[in-house]
């Protein structure tokens, strides 16, 4: 297996663009799309698709009952933090 260098994702609170609260049985994928949609992203023309950034099935299988679980990733160049109750999207600057 090739050794890949991991890049640090800086998540400074002053760079927070949106904190999108997940409602009820909302999937992580639905939450991500809604959060980016709330930021006026044109989701119809956005490439590559969301699935190329996150494995929605894997995220939905996580035990989100633990409030300490969180996933950090980048979607469309934006640092993203996924928590049990919300999705936070940060500025690229």
pLDDT at 78 (0 to 100): 92
pLDDT at 9 (0 to 100): 60
Our measurement of the distance from residue 1's CA atom to the centroid of its chain's CA atoms, rounded to an integer in Å, reads 26
Report yes or no on 3 lying in a domain. no
Report yes or no on 80 lying in a domain. yes
Measured between alpha carbons, how far is residue 38 from residues 19, 35, 41, 47, 53 in Å? 10, 5, 7, 18, 19
pLDDT at 5 (0 to 100): 46
- In which residue are the tokens 């959060």 written? 35
Task: DSSP letter for 75, please.
Answer: E
pLDDT at 43 (0 to 100): 85
Report yes or no on 70 lying in a domain. yes
Overall number of domains in the chain: 1
Domain with 42 in it: 13-90
Report yes or no on 40 lying in a domain. yes
Report yes or no on 19 lying in a domain. yes
Measured between alpha carbons, how far is residue 81 from residues 38, 45, 72, 87 in Å? 16, 23, 5, 6
Report yes or no on 68 lying in a domain. yes
pLDDT at 68 (0 to 100): 83
Q: What is the mean pLDDT, run by run of 10 residues, along the chain of 93 residues?
A: 48 84 87 93 86 87 83 92 93 83
């Amino acid at each position: 297996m090739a050794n890949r260098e991991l890049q640090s994702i800086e998540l400074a609170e002053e760079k927070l663009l949106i904190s999108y609260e997940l409602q009820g049985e909302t999937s992580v994928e639905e939450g991500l799309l809604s959060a980016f949609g709330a930021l006026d992203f044109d989701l119809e023309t956005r490439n590559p698709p969301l699935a190329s950034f996150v494995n929605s099935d894997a995220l939905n299988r996580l035990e989100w009952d633990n409030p300490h679980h969180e996933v950090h990733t980048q979607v469309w160049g934006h640092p993203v933090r996924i928590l049990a109750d919300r999705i936070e999207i940060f500025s690229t600057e």
